[in-house]
Amino acid sequence: MNSHVVSVLLVCLTTSLPVTAIGNENGAMRMSQMPEFSDFDKNQDKLISEEEFVQFQKARQELHQSEGRMLKNASRDGMFERIDLDHNKFIDAEEFQSHREMMRKSK
């Protein structure tokens, strides 16, 4: 009887916790506050194109909205250009990491 009560409590607890799940390139879901480079780089060419960037951001915003969460920075106008430091129309891993560090420091 006690194990049944514990099981029910665990189910209630796990279903009530807010979780952000982001799909990665192999379709697996993972919990994440900040997306990884590979989450954006769908074709795995070690570069994030503007199209990949926009598609990921749109999917992430739709996920947040479906969860009833506030959409932080819903308007991302110019963000790709700010991250693309060398203005070659792609974000590489170094630029991505640089932006991430800047975001951490600003919090």
pTM value? 0.65
Q: Which domain, by its residues, includes 61? A: 33-106
The two structure tokens encoding residue 15? 């279903």
Question: Considering the domain boundaries, does residue 9 fall inside one?
Answer: no
Tokens of 7: 């099981």
Gap between the Cα atoms of 34 and 20, Å rounded: 10
The predicted structure's pLDDT at residue 41: 97
Residue 6 domain flag: no
Task: Give residues with Cβ within 8 angstroms of 83, minimum separation 6.
Answer: 91, 95, 96, 99
12 part of a folded domain: no
User: For 24-70, what is each residue's pLDDT tens digit?
Assistant: 444 433 434 789 999 999 999 999 999 999 999 999 889 888 988 87
Render pLDDT for 85-97 as a digit per residue (tens, 0 to 9): 999 999 999 999 9
Spatial distance between the Cα atoms of 58 and 74, rounded to a whole number of angstroms: 9
Tell me the CATH number at 69. 1.10.238.10
Q: What is the pLDDT of residue 6?
A: 42
Residue 39 near residue 56, CB atoms below 8 Å: yes
